[in-house]
Structure 1
Amino acid sequence: MTGSILIVDDDPVQRRLLEAAVTRFGYSAIVVDGGAAALDILDGPGAREVSVVILDLVMPGLDGIGVLKAMRERDINVPAIVQTAQGGIETVVSAMRHGAFDFVVKPASPDRLQASIGNALKVEAVEGEVKRTSRRRGGLLTFKDMITHSPAMDRVIRLGQKAAASNIPILIEGESGVGKELVARAIQGSGDRRSKPFVTVNCGAIPDNLVESILFGHEKGSFTGATDKHTGKFVEAHSGTLFLDEIGDLPLDVQVKLLRAVQDGEVDPVGGRSTVRVDIRLISATHRNLLQQVK
Protein backbone atom coordinates (compact mmCIF):
# COMPACT_ATOMS: atom_id res chain seq x y z
CA MET A 1 0.00 0.00 0.00
CA THR A 2 1.34 3.46 -0.94
CA GLY A 3 2.13 5.71 1.99
CA SER A 4 1.72 9.45 2.20
CA ILE A 5 3.55 12.22 0.33
CA LEU A 6 5.35 14.58 2.73
CA ILE A 7 5.23 18.18 1.42
CA VAL A 8 7.88 20.53 2.85
CA ASP A 9 7.60 24.20 1.87
CA ASP A 10 7.69 27.48 3.81
CA ASP A 11 5.33 29.16 1.31
CA PRO A 12 1.68 28.58 2.37
CA VAL A 13 0.41 29.10 -1.19
CA GLN A 14 2.80 26.47 -2.56
CA ARG A 15 1.82 24.09 0.24
CA ARG A 16 -1.86 24.38 -0.64
CA LEU A 17 -1.19 23.96 -4.37
CA LEU A 18 0.99 20.88 -3.82
CA GLU A 19 -1.45 19.33 -1.36
CA ALA A 20 -4.30 19.81 -3.83
CA ALA A 21 -2.26 18.27 -6.66
CA VAL A 22 -1.11 15.29 -4.59
CA THR A 23 -4.68 14.64 -3.43
CA ARG A 24 -5.91 14.88 -7.01
CA PHE A 25 -3.31 12.27 -8.02
CA GLY A 26 -4.88 9.89 -5.49
CA TYR A 27 -2.30 10.10 -2.67
CA SER A 28 -2.64 11.29 0.90
CA ALA A 29 -0.52 14.28 1.94
CA ILE A 30 1.31 15.35 5.08
CA VAL A 31 2.16 19.06 5.01
CA VAL A 32 4.83 20.89 7.05
CA ASP A 33 6.30 24.39 6.77
CA GLY A 34 10.01 23.75 7.28
CA GLY A 35 12.98 21.40 7.35
CA ALA A 36 13.05 20.82 11.10
CA ALA A 37 9.38 19.79 11.12
CA ALA A 38 10.04 17.44 8.20
CA LEU A 39 12.87 15.69 10.04
CA ASP A 40 10.69 15.32 13.13
CA ILE A 41 8.32 13.24 11.00
CA LEU A 42 10.98 11.37 9.01
CA ASP A 43 12.91 10.47 12.16
CA GLY A 44 9.88 9.81 14.35
CA PRO A 45 7.18 7.18 14.85
CA GLY A 46 5.27 8.34 11.76
CA ALA A 47 8.19 7.77 9.40
CA ARG A 48 6.77 4.55 7.99
CA GLU A 49 3.76 6.46 6.66
CA VAL A 50 5.94 8.54 4.30
CA SER A 51 6.77 7.13 0.87
CA VAL A 52 8.00 10.27 -0.95
CA VAL A 53 9.15 13.74 0.11
CA ILE A 54 8.50 16.87 -1.99
CA LEU A 55 11.09 19.27 -0.63
CA ASP A 56 11.59 22.99 -1.23
CA LEU A 57 15.30 23.82 -1.41
CA VAL A 58 15.16 27.47 -0.40
CA MET A 59 13.67 27.83 3.09
CA PRO A 60 14.60 29.81 6.22
CA GLY A 61 16.30 27.89 8.99
CA LEU A 62 17.02 24.34 7.86
CA ASP A 63 16.89 24.49 4.06
CA GLY A 64 16.38 21.66 1.57
CA ILE A 65 20.07 20.78 1.26
CA GLY A 66 20.28 20.61 5.05
CA VAL A 67 17.34 18.21 5.13
CA LEU A 68 18.95 16.01 2.45
CA LYS A 69 22.22 15.93 4.42
CA ALA A 70 20.40 15.01 7.62
CA MET A 71 18.43 12.28 5.84
CA ARG A 72 21.67 10.73 4.60
CA GLU A 73 23.38 11.02 8.00
CA ARG A 74 20.40 9.39 9.75
CA ASP A 75 19.98 6.72 7.06
CA ILE A 76 16.48 7.92 6.12
CA ASN A 77 15.96 6.30 2.74
CA VAL A 78 12.86 8.02 1.37
CA PRO A 79 12.98 9.36 -2.23
CA ALA A 80 13.09 13.17 -2.21
CA ILE A 81 11.84 15.32 -5.08
CA VAL A 82 13.37 18.76 -4.65
CA GLN A 83 11.83 21.93 -6.03
CA THR A 84 12.84 25.57 -6.15
CA ALA A 85 12.20 28.71 -8.16
CA GLN A 86 15.96 29.22 -8.24
CA GLY A 87 17.09 26.51 -10.64
CA GLY A 88 20.80 27.33 -10.75
CA ILE A 89 23.06 24.57 -12.03
CA GLU A 90 25.13 24.37 -8.85
CA THR A 91 21.96 24.12 -6.75
CA VAL A 92 20.74 21.19 -8.82
CA VAL A 93 24.14 19.46 -8.71
CA SER A 94 24.32 19.91 -4.94
CA ALA A 95 20.83 18.49 -4.46
CA MET A 96 21.58 15.45 -6.63
CA ARG A 97 24.92 14.94 -4.89
CA HIS A 98 23.19 14.88 -1.51
CA GLY A 99 20.73 12.20 -2.57
CA ALA A 100 17.78 13.93 -4.25
CA PHE A 101 15.80 11.57 -6.47
CA ASP A 102 14.48 14.19 -8.89
CA PHE A 103 14.40 17.94 -9.44
CA VAL A 104 11.51 20.17 -10.56
CA VAL A 105 11.44 23.92 -11.08
CA LYS A 106 8.51 25.93 -9.68
CA PRO A 107 5.85 26.02 -10.86
CA ALA A 108 6.06 22.34 -11.83
CA SER A 109 3.43 21.15 -14.29
CA PRO A 110 0.95 18.60 -12.88
CA ASP A 111 2.02 15.99 -15.44
CA ARG A 112 5.71 16.43 -14.58
CA LEU A 113 5.04 16.25 -10.84
CA GLN A 114 2.77 13.20 -11.15
CA ALA A 115 5.35 11.36 -13.27
CA SER A 116 8.10 12.17 -10.78
CA ILE A 117 6.04 10.93 -7.82
CA GLY A 118 5.13 7.75 -9.72
CA ASN A 119 8.78 7.04 -10.54
CA ALA A 120 9.83 7.72 -6.95
CA LEU A 121 7.22 5.29 -5.62
CA LYS A 122 8.51 2.57 -7.96
CA VAL A 123 12.06 3.13 -6.76
CA GLU A 124 10.91 3.15 -3.13
CA ALA A 125 9.18 -0.21 -3.62
CA VAL A 126 12.23 -1.81 -5.27
CA GLU A 127 14.65 -0.41 -2.69
CA GLY A 128 12.40 -1.68 0.08
CA GLU A 129 12.62 -5.19 -1.34
CA VAL A 130 16.40 -4.81 -1.74
CA LYS A 131 16.76 -3.83 1.91
CA ARG A 132 14.52 -6.63 3.16
CA THR A 133 16.39 -9.21 1.14
CA SER A 134 19.79 -7.77 1.98
CA ARG A 135 19.07 -7.82 5.69
CA ARG A 136 18.45 -11.56 5.49
CA ARG A 137 21.91 -11.95 3.96
CA GLY A 138 23.74 -9.57 6.29
CA GLY A 139 23.78 -6.80 3.68
CA LEU A 140 24.72 -8.94 0.65
CA LEU A 141 22.20 -9.87 -2.04
CA THR A 142 22.84 -12.82 -4.34
CA PHE A 143 20.77 -14.82 -6.80
CA LYS A 144 20.22 -17.47 -4.13
CA ASP A 145 17.97 -14.97 -2.34
CA MET A 146 15.68 -14.50 -5.36
CA ILE A 147 12.68 -16.83 -5.33
CA THR A 148 10.95 -17.26 -8.69
CA HIS A 149 7.95 -19.15 -10.01
CA SER A 150 8.32 -18.65 -13.75
CA PRO A 151 10.60 -20.09 -16.45
CA ALA A 152 11.29 -16.57 -17.72
CA MET A 153 12.72 -15.44 -14.36
CA ASP A 154 14.65 -18.70 -14.02
CA ARG A 155 16.32 -17.84 -17.33
CA VAL A 156 17.09 -14.31 -16.11
CA ILE A 157 18.78 -15.71 -13.02
CA ARG A 158 20.86 -18.17 -15.05
CA LEU A 159 22.00 -15.37 -17.35
CA GLY A 160 22.73 -13.16 -14.35
CA GLN A 161 24.86 -15.84 -12.72
CA LYS A 162 26.89 -16.19 -15.90
CA ALA A 163 27.28 -12.42 -16.15
CA ALA A 164 28.46 -12.17 -12.55
CA ALA A 165 31.45 -14.35 -13.38
CA SER A 166 32.76 -11.78 -15.90
CA ASN A 167 33.36 -8.03 -15.97
CA ILE A 168 31.55 -7.20 -19.21
CA PRO A 169 29.02 -4.31 -19.32
CA ILE A 170 25.43 -5.51 -18.93
CA LEU A 171 22.10 -4.14 -20.16
CA ILE A 172 18.94 -5.25 -18.34
CA GLU A 173 15.68 -4.69 -20.23
CA GLY A 174 12.22 -4.79 -18.72
CA GLU A 175 9.14 -2.78 -17.80
CA SER A 176 9.31 -0.32 -14.93
CA GLY A 177 8.85 -1.96 -11.54
CA VAL A 178 9.84 -5.52 -12.49
CA GLY A 179 13.00 -5.52 -10.35
CA LYS A 180 15.85 -4.61 -12.69
CA GLU A 181 17.83 -3.08 -9.84
CA LEU A 182 17.38 -6.26 -7.78
CA VAL A 183 18.98 -8.23 -10.60
CA ALA A 184 21.81 -5.69 -10.87
CA ARG A 185 22.51 -5.90 -7.14
CA ALA A 186 22.46 -9.70 -7.28
CA ILE A 187 25.03 -9.61 -10.10
CA GLN A 188 27.29 -7.46 -7.94
CA GLY A 189 26.69 -9.62 -4.86
CA SER A 190 27.59 -12.77 -6.79
CA GLY A 191 30.80 -11.41 -8.34
CA ASP A 192 34.28 -10.28 -7.35
CA ARG A 193 33.11 -6.75 -6.55
CA ARG A 194 30.59 -7.88 -3.93
CA SER A 195 32.11 -5.82 -1.10
CA LYS A 196 32.71 -2.71 -3.22
CA PRO A 197 30.50 0.37 -3.83
CA PHE A 198 27.21 0.01 -5.69
CA VAL A 199 26.26 3.44 -7.05
CA THR A 200 22.87 4.03 -8.71
CA VAL A 201 21.94 6.81 -11.13
CA ASN A 202 18.41 7.50 -12.37
CA CYS A 203 19.32 8.89 -15.81
CA GLY A 204 15.76 9.96 -16.54
CA ALA A 205 15.69 12.25 -13.50
CA ILE A 206 18.74 14.36 -14.42
CA PRO A 207 18.28 17.56 -16.47
CA ASP A 208 20.11 17.27 -19.82
CA ASN A 209 22.44 20.17 -19.05
CA LEU A 210 23.67 18.47 -15.86
CA VAL A 211 24.15 14.90 -17.03
CA GLU A 212 27.89 15.21 -17.79
CA SER A 213 28.56 16.91 -14.47
CA ILE A 214 26.62 14.31 -12.47
CA LEU A 215 28.23 11.34 -14.23
CA PHE A 216 31.77 12.53 -14.95
CA GLY A 217 32.23 15.37 -12.46
CA HIS A 218 33.35 18.96 -12.97
CA GLU A 219 36.15 21.28 -11.90
CA LYS A 220 35.59 24.38 -9.81
CA GLY A 221 34.81 27.34 -12.07
CA SER A 222 34.20 25.15 -15.14
CA PHE A 223 30.81 26.81 -15.73
CA THR A 224 28.62 29.48 -14.18
CA GLY A 225 27.61 28.36 -10.72
CA ALA A 226 30.31 25.66 -10.37
CA THR A 227 31.63 26.95 -7.04
CA ASP A 228 33.06 23.59 -5.94
CA LYS A 229 34.74 20.58 -7.52
CA HIS A 230 32.43 17.58 -8.03
CA THR A 231 33.84 14.08 -8.53
CA GLY A 232 30.92 12.46 -10.37
CA LYS A 233 29.26 9.06 -10.14
CA PHE A 234 31.93 7.19 -12.09
CA VAL A 235 34.57 8.14 -9.54
CA GLU A 236 32.16 7.38 -6.66
CA ALA A 237 31.78 3.85 -8.05
CA HIS A 238 35.52 3.26 -8.52
CA SER A 239 36.40 -0.41 -7.88
CA GLY A 240 32.70 -1.26 -7.64
CA THR A 241 29.56 -1.19 -9.79
CA LEU A 242 27.80 1.72 -11.47
CA PHE A 243 24.11 1.11 -12.17
CA LEU A 244 22.61 3.45 -14.80
CA ASP A 245 18.84 3.14 -14.67
CA GLU A 246 16.93 4.25 -17.80
CA ILE A 247 20.13 4.66 -19.80
CA GLY A 248 18.04 5.23 -22.93
CA ASP A 249 17.13 8.68 -21.57
CA LEU A 250 20.75 9.91 -21.79
CA PRO A 251 21.48 12.51 -24.51
CA LEU A 252 23.37 11.13 -27.51
CA ASP A 253 26.49 13.26 -26.92
CA VAL A 254 26.75 11.90 -23.39
CA GLN A 255 26.44 8.34 -24.70
CA VAL A 256 29.62 8.96 -26.73
CA LYS A 257 31.54 9.95 -23.59
CA LEU A 258 30.01 6.96 -21.80
CA LEU A 259 31.42 4.67 -24.49
CA ARG A 260 34.91 6.05 -23.95
CA ALA A 261 34.60 5.63 -20.19
CA VAL A 262 33.64 1.97 -20.64
CA GLN A 263 36.20 1.15 -23.33
CA ASP A 264 39.19 3.07 -21.97
CA GLY A 265 38.42 3.26 -18.26
CA GLU A 266 38.77 7.06 -18.33
CA VAL A 267 36.38 9.96 -17.74
CA ASP A 268 36.70 13.63 -18.70
CA PRO A 269 35.40 15.92 -15.94
CA VAL A 270 33.71 19.06 -17.25
CA GLY A 271 36.38 21.77 -17.38
CA GLY A 272 39.15 19.32 -16.51
CA ARG A 273 42.57 19.39 -18.14
CA SER A 274 43.25 15.67 -17.81
CA THR A 275 41.32 12.43 -17.71
CA VAL A 276 40.63 10.45 -14.55
CA ARG A 277 41.17 6.69 -14.47
CA VAL A 278 38.25 4.63 -13.16
CA ASP A 279 37.73 0.92 -12.64
CA ILE A 280 34.02 0.13 -12.61
CA ARG A 281 31.58 -2.59 -13.56
CA LEU A 282 28.81 -0.97 -15.62
CA ILE A 283 25.27 -2.31 -15.42
CA SER A 284 22.54 -0.42 -17.26
CA ALA A 285 18.78 -0.82 -17.38
CA THR A 286 15.97 0.43 -19.59
CA HIS A 287 12.27 -0.07 -20.20
CA ARG A 288 12.82 0.67 -23.91
CA ASN A 289 13.73 -1.69 -26.75
CA LEU A 290 17.01 0.03 -27.59
CA LEU A 291 17.87 -2.33 -30.45
CA GLN A 292 14.58 -1.48 -32.15
CA GLN A 293 15.16 2.26 -31.65
CA VAL A 294 18.53 2.29 -33.44
CA LYS A 295 17.18 0.50 -36.53
Structure 2
Amino acid sequence: MKKDKMIRLFLVDDDALFLKSLEIEFTQNGNFIIETFRTGELCIENLSHSPDVIILDYHLDGIDKTAINGIETLDKINLSHPSIPVVMLSSQDSIEVAVNCMHHQAFDYIVKSETAFMRLQKIIETILHYKKMEKELNWYMERM
Protein backbone atom coordinates (compact mmCIF):
# COMPACT_ATOMS: atom_id res chain seq x y z
CA MET A 1 0.00 0.00 0.00
CA LYS A 2 1.19 3.53 -0.72
CA LYS A 3 2.62 5.55 2.14
CA ASP A 4 -0.02 8.29 1.70
CA LYS A 5 -2.74 5.66 2.26
CA MET A 6 -1.12 4.40 5.43
CA ILE A 7 -2.26 5.39 8.91
CA ARG A 8 0.28 7.29 11.00
CA LEU A 9 -0.03 5.94 14.51
CA PHE A 10 1.69 7.20 17.66
CA LEU A 11 2.06 4.65 20.46
CA VAL A 12 2.96 6.19 23.83
CA ASP A 13 3.70 3.95 26.81
CA ASP A 14 6.45 3.78 29.44
CA ASP A 15 6.20 -0.02 29.57
CA ALA A 16 8.79 -1.02 26.94
CA LEU A 17 7.51 -4.59 26.60
CA PHE A 18 3.87 -3.57 26.11
CA LEU A 19 4.92 -0.80 23.72
CA LYS A 20 6.96 -3.22 21.60
CA SER A 21 4.16 -5.80 21.55
CA LEU A 22 1.69 -3.15 20.34
CA GLU A 23 4.14 -2.00 17.70
CA ILE A 24 4.60 -5.57 16.44
CA GLU A 25 0.84 -6.25 16.37
CA PHE A 26 0.07 -3.08 14.42
CA THR A 27 3.00 -3.60 12.03
CA GLN A 28 1.91 -7.15 11.24
CA ASN A 29 -1.82 -6.48 11.04
CA GLY A 30 -2.35 -3.29 9.14
CA ASN A 31 -1.11 -0.44 7.02
CA PHE A 32 0.46 1.68 9.71
CA ILE A 33 3.39 4.03 9.96
CA ILE A 34 4.22 3.69 13.63
CA GLU A 35 6.16 5.97 15.91
CA THR A 36 6.71 4.92 19.50
CA PHE A 37 7.42 7.15 22.48
CA ARG A 38 8.16 6.30 26.10
CA THR A 39 7.09 9.70 27.50
CA GLY A 40 4.32 12.18 26.86
CA GLU A 41 6.91 14.90 26.36
CA LEU A 42 8.45 13.02 23.41
CA CYS A 43 5.03 12.49 21.89
CA ILE A 44 4.21 16.20 22.15
CA GLU A 45 7.59 17.16 20.65
CA ASN A 46 6.76 15.06 17.57
CA LEU A 47 3.17 16.17 16.88
CA SER A 48 4.44 17.96 13.78
CA HIS A 49 4.61 14.47 12.21
CA SER A 50 0.78 14.66 12.04
CA PRO A 51 -0.39 11.36 13.51
CA ASP A 52 -3.83 10.14 12.49
CA VAL A 53 -4.37 8.53 15.91
CA ILE A 54 -2.51 8.50 19.22
CA ILE A 55 -2.67 5.54 21.61
CA LEU A 56 -1.65 6.94 25.01
CA ASP A 57 -0.94 5.27 28.36
CA TYR A 58 -2.74 6.75 31.36
CA HIS A 59 0.16 6.83 33.84
CA LEU A 60 3.47 7.30 31.99
CA ASP A 61 5.55 7.48 35.17
CA GLY A 62 7.56 4.27 34.96
CA ILE A 63 10.73 5.85 33.59
CA ASP A 64 10.71 9.29 35.16
CA LYS A 65 8.52 10.05 38.16
CA THR A 66 8.56 13.76 37.19
CA ALA A 67 7.32 13.09 33.63
CA ILE A 68 3.87 14.34 32.72
CA ASN A 69 1.18 11.69 32.98
CA GLY A 70 -1.23 10.56 30.30
CA ILE A 71 -3.99 13.01 31.24
CA GLU A 72 -1.57 15.95 31.17
CA THR A 73 -0.28 14.73 27.80
CA LEU A 74 -3.85 14.38 26.52
CA ASP A 75 -4.66 17.95 27.63
CA LYS A 76 -1.58 19.32 25.84
CA ILE A 77 -2.44 17.41 22.66
CA ASN A 78 -6.02 18.68 22.78
CA LEU A 79 -4.81 22.24 23.32
CA SER A 80 -2.40 22.30 20.38
CA HIS A 81 -3.90 19.65 18.04
CA PRO A 82 -7.58 19.11 18.95
CA SER A 83 -8.35 17.22 15.74
CA ILE A 84 -6.04 14.30 16.61
CA PRO A 85 -8.06 11.51 18.25
CA VAL A 86 -6.43 10.07 21.36
CA VAL A 87 -7.28 6.64 22.76
CA MET A 88 -6.25 6.16 26.38
CA LEU A 89 -4.86 2.87 27.68
CA SER A 90 -4.59 1.81 31.30
CA SER A 91 -4.00 -1.30 33.32
CA GLN A 92 -6.68 -0.02 35.70
CA ASP A 93 -10.15 -1.37 35.08
CA SER A 94 -11.79 1.54 36.83
CA ILE A 95 -14.91 3.55 36.01
CA GLU A 96 -13.33 6.62 37.64
CA VAL A 97 -10.26 6.41 35.38
CA ALA A 98 -12.42 5.89 32.29
CA VAL A 99 -14.67 8.84 33.19
CA ASN A 100 -11.61 11.00 33.85
CA CYS A 101 -10.22 10.17 30.41
CA MET A 102 -13.51 10.94 28.71
CA HIS A 103 -13.85 14.17 30.71
CA HIS A 104 -10.48 15.22 29.26
CA GLN A 105 -11.81 14.49 25.75
CA ALA A 106 -10.17 11.17 24.97
CA PHE A 107 -11.81 9.45 22.02
CA ASP A 108 -12.03 6.23 24.01
CA TYR A 109 -10.58 4.31 26.95
CA ILE A 110 -9.20 0.76 26.77
CA VAL A 111 -8.07 -1.49 29.60
CA LYS A 112 -4.79 -3.28 28.90
CA SER A 113 -5.75 -6.92 28.50
CA GLU A 114 -5.56 -9.84 26.09
CA THR A 115 -8.25 -8.18 23.94
CA ALA A 116 -6.76 -4.66 23.98
CA PHE A 117 -5.19 -4.93 20.52
CA MET A 118 -8.42 -6.14 18.88
CA ARG A 119 -10.37 -3.35 20.59
CA LEU A 120 -7.79 -0.78 19.46
CA GLN A 121 -8.10 -2.01 15.86
CA LYS A 122 -11.88 -1.58 16.00
CA ILE A 123 -11.58 1.90 17.50
CA ILE A 124 -9.09 2.97 14.84
CA GLU A 125 -11.49 1.71 12.15
CA THR A 126 -14.25 3.78 13.78
CA ILE A 127 -12.02 6.88 13.93
CA LEU A 128 -11.09 6.53 10.26
CA HIS A 129 -14.75 6.07 9.34
CA TYR A 130 -15.67 9.28 11.23
CA LYS A 131 -12.82 11.17 9.57
CA LYS A 132 -13.95 10.00 6.14
CA MET A 133 -17.54 11.03 6.85
CA GLU A 134 -16.37 14.42 8.14
CA LYS A 135 -14.25 14.97 5.02
CA GLU A 136 -17.18 14.05 2.76
CA LEU A 137 -19.51 16.35 4.70
CA ASN A 138 -17.02 19.23 4.45
CA TRP A 139 -16.67 18.60 0.70
CA TYR A 140 -20.44 18.63 0.32
CA MET A 141 -20.88 21.78 2.44
CA GLU A 142 -18.25 23.65 0.39
CA ARG A 143 -20.25 23.02 -2.76
CA MET A 144 -23.58 24.24 -1.40
Q: TM-score band (shorter)?
A: 0.7 to 0.9
Cα separation, partners in 2 of 1:20 and 1:68, compared to 1, 3 Å:
same
**Counterparts of 1:258-269 in structure 2 under 5 Å?**
none
Structure-2 residue corresponding to 1:123: 130
CA contact (8 A) 1:78 1:124 kept: no
Deviation of 1:33 after TM superposition, in Å, equals 0.4
Partner of 1:28: 33
Give the helix-richer structure, 1 or 2.
2
Structure 2 unmatched ranges of 5 or more? 62-66
**Partner amino acid for 1:15?**
L
Cα deviation, residue 129, structure 1: 5.2
The 3 A distance-change label for structure 1 pair 129 and 98 is farther
Cα separation, 2, equivalents of 1:144 and 1:76: 21
Deviations 1:134-160 (A, max 9, x none): 9xxxxxxxx75357xxxxxxxxxxxxx
| Match in the other structure for 2:7 | 3
Q: Distance in 2 between matches of 1:146 and 1:116?
A: 31
Report if the CA contact (8 A) 1:25-1:114 is conserved. no
The aligned counterpart of 2:85 is 79
Query: CA contact under 8 A between 2:88 and 2:110: conserved in structure 1?
Result: yes
The reply on whether 1:59 has 2:60 as its aligned counterpart is: yes
Provide the secondary structure at the position in 1 that maps to 2:44: helix
Over 3 Å counting, the alpha-carbon distance change for 1:129 and 1:63 in structure 2 is farther
User: Is this contact kept in 1: 2:13–2:19, CA < 8 A?
Assistant: yes
Q: Please give the residue correspondences for 1:184-195 in structure 2 after superposition, counting only pairs within 5 Å.
A: none
| Structure 1 gap segments, 5+ residues each | 135-142, 148-295
Residue 30 of structure 1 and its aligned partner are, at CA, apart by 0.7
Greater Rg over alpha carbons, structure? 1
Bigger relative CO (Cα 8 Å, ≥ 6 apart)? 2
The Cα RMSD (Å) is 2.1
C-alpha separation between the residues in 2 aligned to 1:7 and 1:90? 23
Deviation of 1:96 (Å): 0.8
Q: 1:112 to 1:92 in 2, by over 3 A?
A: same
Could you report, residue by residue, the CA deviation over 1:213-244 in whole angstroms, capped at 9, with x for unpaired residues?
A: xxxxxxxxxxxxxxxxxxxxxxxxxxxxxxxx
In structure 1, what residue type is equivalent to 2:38?
A: D
